[in-house]
Amino acid sequence: MMNTMTTDELTIAIAVPLEAEYVEQIRAVDPSVTVLYEPDLLPPERFPADHAGDPAFTRTPEQEERYWAMLDRAQVLYGFPNESPAGLARIANSNPHLQWIHAMAAGAGGAVKASGLDTETLRKFHVTTSAGVHALPLAEFSAFGILNGFKRSAEMAIDQAAKVWPELRTPTKLANGSKVVIAGLGEIGMETARIARALGMRVSGTKRNVSAIEGIEEVTNNDGLVALVADADAVVNTLPGTPYTEKLFNRDIFSAMKTGTVFVNVGRGTVVDEDALLEALDNGQVAYACLDVFAVEPLPQESPLWNHPRVLVSPHTSALSTAENRLIAERFCNNLRIFLDGGELPHLVDPVHFY
């Protein structure tokens, strides 16, 4: 059950960089809510939605004391303190009346786990994620990856760099009529499915709780992934990193794919066995891989993925857009209304499984 309280007692602290206009939107949700916002205590953003802010930013001892005093007064936090697992651990132990923290990330479970807090402590307050805010940019990036693979953009870039005009013209693949399998039909997966269907693609996918979904040809759990990918033209992973998804895309999955499959990963890098992916790229079962996430980030310099001619490396930035801060603030405002009305908050991080 929600741990609700009367609105005249509710104080919200802005723990991460945020434009003043969005702070005002939060204040406007309910006149009885107090919002604590001290921009001089927050690092400046280096780019839109830079939630951690400039790493060169430092607070004076007096500012540091003010920052934590502000956070300790609040029942609700917008962002993890210092946008870090260590900040989450500290506030959980120093603020006895903390009820809810809204995380900037869609997949905040990893940071919650990294805080090292025990389950009993984590059950004392809620952590919600910004899941769904990134659905559209990630879905657009997935479509971009599929089309890059189908239209052979990597090969064209190599030919262009070498100023080669091939004598033999190689046909490209139509998205229309092709089959895409989406591992993880959550908000990101469903938005990807919507765009894929607009391109005329047939869509199947996986879901933890299997049920029929309008417009999706076949839905299975992850155990059925091997069968699903066997006739897929493209496969997109949107799954989060959990113990249950670690290296889900292994040699068995890649070897089940037909020659020339396009693979896109916008979920988490730990879901993919990168050695198995490289083997599939080298034997042609994967014709092209568009990767926004990796098992180790930043991607190590020695990784062969950097230089592979049919791999696009994106530095975990495909979810970012200039609209992100606005979208997260809007999501938080909607959640705040639910919280004030005593409802159940969406997108809660599970304190045991961290998804």
313 DSSP β-pair partners: 291
**Has 297 been annotated as catalytic?**
yes
Residues near 45 by Cβ (< 8 Å), separated by ≥ 6? 17, 53, 54
Handedness of CA 5, 11, 15, 17 (dihedral sign): positive
**347 part of the active site:** no
Bond from prior residue into 309 cis (ω within 30 degrees of 0):
no
**Contact by Cβ (8 Å): 275, 300:** no
- How many Å apart are CA 48 and CA 55, to the nearest integer? 15
* Helical (H) or strand (E) element with 145: helix 135-150
Picking from 55, 59, 86, the residue whose alpha carbon sits closest to that of residue 70 is 59
**Is residue 268 annotated as part of the catalytic site, yes or no?**
yes
DSSP string, 1-54: ------GGG-EEEE-S---HHHHHHHHTT-TT-EEE--GGGSPPPSSTT-SS--
Cα–Cα distance list, 190 to 134, 185, 315, 342 (Å): 12, 5, 23, 29
Q: Which residue among the candidates 66, 97, 251, 316 is catalytic per the annotation? A: 316
| C-alpha–C-alpha distance, residues 355 and 351, integer Å | 8
Residue from 51, 102, 268, 331 carrying the catalytic annotation: 268
The one catalytic residue among 65, 217, 297, 344: 297
Residues tagged active-site: 268, 297, 316
